[in-house]
């Protein structure tokens, strides 16, 4: 298979992850290995060219299977780096020359300028390599300005300028993966200079550049086609989700996975959850006991326990309207009790066998209970059975990342001997409440917005939610029979989404394997 044919068959591989990016990488790898264009006996061999340019025989490296008129030398024999520096002063008034940092070079964001004449300069046509930061090893085209402190100008001999650019870009993954430094990573300069550089004759370098430019332009067109397809598919997906919202039946869920486009499983699950808590997933039954009567009965149970009463949900607090038989109520006004666990100094590893352990917040953060997420209680320390997790417990995390704090689970059948930590809160409910429905409501977007607004803590990596905030969460409460119908319907639809997600993953994996097989075949044939 010729490379052009590979591009023609792109639709076969379009579903492979990062398909266009992998095609660009393939083009560069073939280019720098002499497998992209024909060699010519009329070209001056690279070794003679290097001898002529440097005035001495090149120190050749044995690189294995290269075309006979190519040469391989240490990259440091042919390039030199001029490091940039921070000017004595910078301004935003556009006085002087642009200060060339990554943003200026990669995105054209000329935000800072300097009149410092002692700083290294760059001009249009220079090659610039990033030496500091997470993008170390990235090669960019220079423009007129002053070299920033995180970049270096690449001087060179024996290279066509654009061939060197493509050669260095083919090394990016290797160079970026070998960064040095912890707080601020840096380009491993000795590693860069020691890399074997495959040098074609100069005329072939120019032919390679022309071919790479042609194929990269094809990649650009394919990428634009993908973006256009994705835009079109997104519009179809929105229309399909709207259709599903009007009639949330399994048949319409199948329609969402039409072969010509896909909706992400995450969007589907979010849509199902939204419909569930808004009363649009199952029909209402006029024979059901209204939620108001449930709430009145629960209030009597709570008075007997002398439980704290929370203010009713005001009309302006309700994020959407609910069916007539539903009511907005605070979580604290439908729960009977709440308690949290205990956080002794535990061992770092999980418990073994039937030993006691303390659950980590990750045990309750992902929608299903994960009993393996625990730490072992040290030998000799007495356990607290009152903190032990039981079947049917409704658990929330009160401390976690911004995304995961106050996530909840309903415990199914836990193994014995697992205790809540003090970062886990347990709510108990009367029989009039279906805990699985409360779990859905607590996972819905309005609940997540409520917690985000009321969480404490300045870092997004650790937010805290007090029990008072949890108790004040507005809950859209249906009649008990409808709570159970909703949970059953959600379980049914989520199981279908799981099946369809597996089908999508299989399809993507098949496309990726097909692409890998054709790339391998192409590489072998181009090598002949």
H, E, C per residue of 199-236: ECCHHHHHHHHHHHHHHHHHHHHHHHHHHHHHHHHHHH
| Closest to 347 (Cα-Cα) out of 357, 334, 362 | 357
Give residues with Cβ within 8 angstroms of 2, minimum separation 6. 522
Q: Give the CA dihedral 74, 75, 76, 77, nearest 10 degrees.
A: 70
For residue 14, the model assigns a pLDDT of 59
- Token pair for residue 241? 């989700």
Instruction: Map residue 128 onto helix, strand or coil.
Output: strand
Instruction: Map residue 428 onto helix, strand or coil.
Output: strand
What is the phi/psi pair of residue 395, to 5°?
-120, 140
Helices assigned H by DSSP within 316-466: 435-443, 445-454
What is the sign, positive or negative, of the torsion defined by CA atoms of 482, 483, 489, 490? positive
- Looking at the DSSP bridge assignments, the partners of residue 82 are 153
d(CA 69, CA 50): 12
For residue 527, the model assigns a pLDDT of 44
Burial class (CB in 10 A: 0-12, 13-18, 19+), 81: middle
| Closest to 148 (Cα-Cα) out of 79, 189, 92, 87 | 87
d(CA 471, CA 308): 10
Contact call for residues 455 and 465 (beta carbons, < 8 A): yes
* Cα of 333 vs its chain's centroid, Å: 38
What is the phi/psi pair of residue 40, to 5°?
-125, 130
Contact call for residues 474 and 318 (beta carbons, < 8 A): yes
Burial class (CB in 10 A: 0-12, 13-18, 19+), 261: middle
Q: Which residues of 336-371 are buried (b: 16+ CB within 10 A; e: fewer)?
A: eebebbebeebeeeebeeeebbbbbbebbbeeebeb
pLDDT, tens digit only, all 528 positions of the chain: 456 656 665 565 556 667 778 788 888 888 888 888 889 999 999 999 999 988 888 888 888 788 989 999 999 999 999 999 999 999 999 999 999 999 999 888 999 999 998 889 999 999 999 999 888 999 999 999 999 999 999 999 889 999 999 999 999 988 888 888 766 789 999 999 999 999 999 999 999 999 999 888 888 887 887 777 767 766 666 666 666 666 665 566 556 555 555 667 787 788 889 889 999 888 899 999 999 999 999 999 999 999 999 999 999 999 999 999 999 999 999 999 999 999 999 999 999 998 999 999 999 999 899 999 999 999 999 999 999 999 999 999 999 999 999 999 999 999 999 999 999 999 999 999 999 999 999 999 999 999 999 999 877 778 999 999 999 999 999 999 999 999 999 998 888 888 877 777 776 666 666 566 555 555 544 444
H or E, element range at 196: strand 196-199
Burial class (CB in 10 A: 0-12, 13-18, 19+), 455: buried
For residue 387, the model assigns a pLDDT of 96
- Token pair for residue 30? 């073939």
The number of CA neighbours under 13 Å toward the Cβ of 124 is 1
For residue 496, the model assigns a pLDDT of 80
Q: How far is CA 355 from CA 185, 371, 373, 450, in A?
A: 43, 13, 14, 38
Q: Domains of the chain by range and CATH?
A: 1-19+220-286+479-528 (no CATH), 291-477 (3.90.220.20)
């Amino acid at each position: 298979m010729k490379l052009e044919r590979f591009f023609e068959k792109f639709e076969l591989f379009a579903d492979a992850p990062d398909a266009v990016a992998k095609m660009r990488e393939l083009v560069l790898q073939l280019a720098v290995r002499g497998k992209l264009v024909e060699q010519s006996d009329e070209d001056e061999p690279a070794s003679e060219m290097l001898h002529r340019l440097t005035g001495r025989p090149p120190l050749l490296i044995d690189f294995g299977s290269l075309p006979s008129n190519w040469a391989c030398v240490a990259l440091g024999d042919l390039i030199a780096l001029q490091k940039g520096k921070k000017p004595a002063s910078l301004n935003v008034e556009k006085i002087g020359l642009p200060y060339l940092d990554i943003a200026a070079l990669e995105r054209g964001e000329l935000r800072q300028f300097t009149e410092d004449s002692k700083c290294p300069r760059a001009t249009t046509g220079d090659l610039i390599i990033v030496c500091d930061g997470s993008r170390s090893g990235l090669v960019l085209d220079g423009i007129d300005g002053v070299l920033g402190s995180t970049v270096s100008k690449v001087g060179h001999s024996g290279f066509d300028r654009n061939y060197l650019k493509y050669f260095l870009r083919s090394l990016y993954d290797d160079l970026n993966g070998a960064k040095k430094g912890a707080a601020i990573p840096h380009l491993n300069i000795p590693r860069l200079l020691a890399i074997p550089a495959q040098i074609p004759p100069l005329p072939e370098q120019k032919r390679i550049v022309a071919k790479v430019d042609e194929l990269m332009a094809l990649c650009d067109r394919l990428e634009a086609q993908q973006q256009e397809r994705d835009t079109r598919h997104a519009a179809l997906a929105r229309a399909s989700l709207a259709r599903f919202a009007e009639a949330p039946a399994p048949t319409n869920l199948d329609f969402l996975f039409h072969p010509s486009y896909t909706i992400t499983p995450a969007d589907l699950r979010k849509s199902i959850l939204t419909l569930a808590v808004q009363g649009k997933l199952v029909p209402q039954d006029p024979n059901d006991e209204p939620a108001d009567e449930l709430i009145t009965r629960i209030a009597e149970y709570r008075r007997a326990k002398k439980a704290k009463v929370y203010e009713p949900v005001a009309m302006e607090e309700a994020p959407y309207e609910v069916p007539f038989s539903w009511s907005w109520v605070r979580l604290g006004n439908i729960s009977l009790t709440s308690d949290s666990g205990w956080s002794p100094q535990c061992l770092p590893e999980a418990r073994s066998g039937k030993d006691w352990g303390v659950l980590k917040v990750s045990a309750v953060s992902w929608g299903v209970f994960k009993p393996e997420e625990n730490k072992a209680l040290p030998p000799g320390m007495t356990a607290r059975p009152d903190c032990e997790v039981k079947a049917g417990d409704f658990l929330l995390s009160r401390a976690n990342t911004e995304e995961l704090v106050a996530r909840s689970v309903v415990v199914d059948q836990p193994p014995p001997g697992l205790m809540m930590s003090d970062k886990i809160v347990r709510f108990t409910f009367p029989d009039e409440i279906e805990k699985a429905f409360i779990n859905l409501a607590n996972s819905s977007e309005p609940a997540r917005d409520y917690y985000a607004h009321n969480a404490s803590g300045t870092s997004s990596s650790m937010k805290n939610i007090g029990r008072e905030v949890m108790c004040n969460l507005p809950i859209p409460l249906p009649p008990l029979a409808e709570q159970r119908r909703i949970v059953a319907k959600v379980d049914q639809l989520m199981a279908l989404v799981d099946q369809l997600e597996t089908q999508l993953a299989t399809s993507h994996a098949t496309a990726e394997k097909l692409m890998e097989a054709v790339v391998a075949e192409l590489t072998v044939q181009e090598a002949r």
